Amino acid sequence: MKSFYITTPIFYPNAKLHMGHAYTTTLCDIIARSHRLNGEDTYFLTGSDENTGKILKTVEENGQDVSEYLAGLRENFKDLYKRLDISYDQFIFTSDKENHWPGAIAMWNKLQEAGDIYKSKYEGLYCTGCETFYTEKDLVDNKCPVHQTVPEKIEEENYFFRLSKYTSVIKDKITNNELRIFPETRKNEILALLDRGLEDISFSRPKKSVPHGIPVPGDSDQVIYVWCDALVNYISALGFGRKEDNLFNKFWPADLHVIGKDILRFHAAIWPAMLLSAGIDLPKSILVHGLITSGGQKMSKTLGNVIDPDMLIEEYGSEAVRYYIARHITPFEDGDLTLESFKDAYNANLANGLGNLSSRILTLSQKYLDKCPEIPESEDFSEYFKIYERLEVNKAADYVWEKIGALDKMIQETEPFKVVKIDEKKGKEIISDLVVRLYSIARLLNPILPKTNIILKKLIKENKAPEAPLFARKD
Ligand code: MSP
């Protein structure tokens, strides 16, 4: 059986997840479900990035116990994922000493054995918001391009990783698609960056600045900095560095890392370099999605345009959130979400489109058919799966809604409600045909709307019209 391994980035558990975060994870879930539907042995990993100074600061400010605090935030993530029907197989968290730390330490040791770790003085511009060091040329008006704050000047003795050594190998692998970057624009962006060359990077921090980090093997004054910690989650979760490494043997290399465009360099330059140095296969592909904006601007607390997924779930249901993410945001570009655009899409395509169509057909079926007509055991969805393989999730959703539109048109043209009164046999045949086609749509909905997929198939099989609208109209 073909296997498929897909990952989300691991999220910082320092704030409530907003629609931007929910977007990455839901997008992954839709892709993962499409591969399961296609009969592949799919493994879906998500998690949280916990060994960071930023979290520590928040915890200290709140006067709370670090591990309790982290466990609580993790539960919040999981609760949201449950509400959104995220079908992850494992939730990794990097403060997990038993499951994650051995992997990070094993990776460090491999890089060291390869001669790619050395000690040196580090002078850098550190943005606490990003947890990242910047060089002068990364800054805009001397400020962090993300947070618009002046970064702190830091001077310390750190371990470095010879990232520069791998620039040309990575460039070749990306150019010849051994490591595929979707979409093409992001591939070009990273190739341009590789053209400018990569500098060696700081790979550790003094323990005093990140007291909860993973200790550097053989140097208790230093902890492993984010790269050899957070990025390693993709393999530590599978058992890399531990005895129980069956999952690693089965699923690595990853088929797909899904990330936002802000963490492209980490994933398409630093991570491949580490893997090359350690002699581990590179992931096969990386999908770099855009950011969700609201009213054309990046969602941010300061702008006050952050949209809380829970608020949308409460008002419209989780299926509506999944629908919007799948169809109204192109994974390859930035996508906009406002409360108005959400409501309009919901009313037009769920309350009307899908909801209305389902109740019309099921009402006719319940009224005129004795039982559910015969449904084919399986169907050929290869065209649909090909769209997912190209990662064009919005087009996969379009494909389903085109079928919904076509079926709607078919009802208008065949007028079964009239025909059945004149020629009962013919009317029933038309209705049976509509039911079979609706079942096919229900099957196609599986990756995008997992709840509706089940409800609709059940109603059809039981030959029952829904008691209440599947998607009530909102005014
Ligand atoms: N912890 C790092 C990732 C380490 S992966 C080994 C991190 N965490 S994060 O919580 O800040 O972001 C996680 C993901 O959320 C990133 O892929 C980022 O692009 C995504 N998003 C954050 N805001 C977003 C939007 N407004 N829109 C879409 N995605 C956004 O970075």
Give the whole-angstrom CA distance, residue 233 versus residue 236: 5
**pTM of the model as a whole:** 0.94
Q: What is the pLDDT of residue 60?
A: 75
Q: What is the pLDDT of residue 35?
A: 98
Identity (one letter) of the amino acid at 425? Answer: K
What number does the ligand 1 atom closest to the CA of 260 have?
Answer: 19
Identity (one letter) of the amino acid at 107? Answer: M
DSSP state of 140: B
3-state secondary structure of 297: strand
Q: How remote is the CA of residue 277 from the centroid of ligand 1, in Å?
A: 26
Parallel, antiparallel, or unpaired: how do β-strands 285-289 and 256-260 relate? parallel
β-pair partners for 298 = 293
Return the closest-CA partner of residue 190 out of 82, 269, 107, 246. 269
Q: What is the pLDDT of residue 161?
A: 97
Question: Is position 28 annotated as part of the catalytic site?
Answer: no
Give the whole-angstrom CA distance, residue 220 versus residue 207: 8
**Stretches in the chain below the pLDDT threshold 50:** none
Give the whole-angstrom CA distance, residue 14 versus residue 60: 12
Q: What angle do CA 150, 134, 220 make, to 5 degrees?
A: 105
Catalytic residue (one of 78, 130, 173, 474): 130
Phi-psi region of 280 (alpha: psi -120 to 50; beta: other; left: phi over 0): beta
What number does the ligand 1 atom closest to the CA of 234 have?
Answer: 6
Our mutation pick for probing the ligand 1 site, out of 21, 95, 265, counting the most ligand atoms within 8 A of Cβ, is 21
Give the whole-angstrom CA distance, residue 247 versus residue 31: 20
Max CA distance (Å), the chain: 89
Q: Which residues contact 102 (CB under 8 A, 6 or more apart)?
A: 236, 241, 242
Give the up-direction half-sphere exposure of residue 44: CA atoms within 13 A in the CB hemisphere.
21
Q: How remote is the CA of residue 263 from the centroid of ligand 1, in Å?
A: 7
Give the whole-angstrom CA distance, residue 107 versus residue 198: 21
Whether 307 and 18 have beta carbons less than 8 Å apart is answered as yes
Parallel, antiparallel, or unpaired: how do β-strands 90-93 and 117-127 relate? unpaired
Q: What is the pLDDT of residue 304?
A: 81
Question: Is position 127 annotated as part of the catalytic site?
Answer: yes
DSSP state of 142: T
